[in-house]
Amino acid sequence: MVEPRHDSHAETGKAYDSELDLRSIVGFTVGVLVVTLFAVAVMWWMSTSFKRQEEATDRAPSPIPEARLDSILPGPRLQSTSPRDMDELRARDREVLTTYGWVDPSQGVARIPVDRAIQLMLERDKRKGP
């Protein structure tokens, strides 16, 4: 019969569990810290070198102060009345598609309603025949 094993801290005289290897734990922790610091150093070096490359290829700013100003104001440029704007756009489109009018009077270019253009095309095709 096998006797049960009684390991206690008082019997062995050790203040920690004997199955844990403190040297390995500390070594692993130090190794992880060294690898992490190395990775941080490499990333810092890459960041600074890429920034220097980008700055070297940038064009010099214009000597004219007005050219350095942004022509577009910052911030969202949203339509405050988008449904009304859409209705107005559709009304303009509808007018262009359903009325007669000049496109370029100097060149003699005019527009006709879409329905009338379709009728004219059908009539032209009938006259040509099969």
Q: Is the pLDDT confidence value at 129 over 80?
A: no
In this predicted structure, the answer to whether residue 11 has a pLDDT above a threshold of 80 is: no
* Radius of gyration (C-alpha) of the chain in whole angstroms: 41
Asked if residue 96 has pLDDT above 70, the reply is yes
Q: pLDDT tens digit string along 74-94? A: 677 777 788 888 999 999 999
Q: Which residue has the tokens 């005019």?
A: 110
**Percentage of the chain exceeding pLDDT 90:** 51
Top-confidence residue, 5 or 96: 96
Q: pTM of the entire structure?
A: 0.36
Encode pLDDT of 30-73 as tens digits. 999 999 999 999 999 999 999 999 988 887 777 777 777 766 66
Q: Output the pLDDT for position 15.
A: 62
Residue 126 Rama label (left phi>0; alpha psi -120 to 50; beta): alpha
Mean of the per-residue pLDDT values of the chain: 83
Residue 81 has a pLDDT of 80
User: Which residues have a Cβ under 8 Å from the Cβ of 18 and sit 6 or more positions away?
Assistant: 7, 12
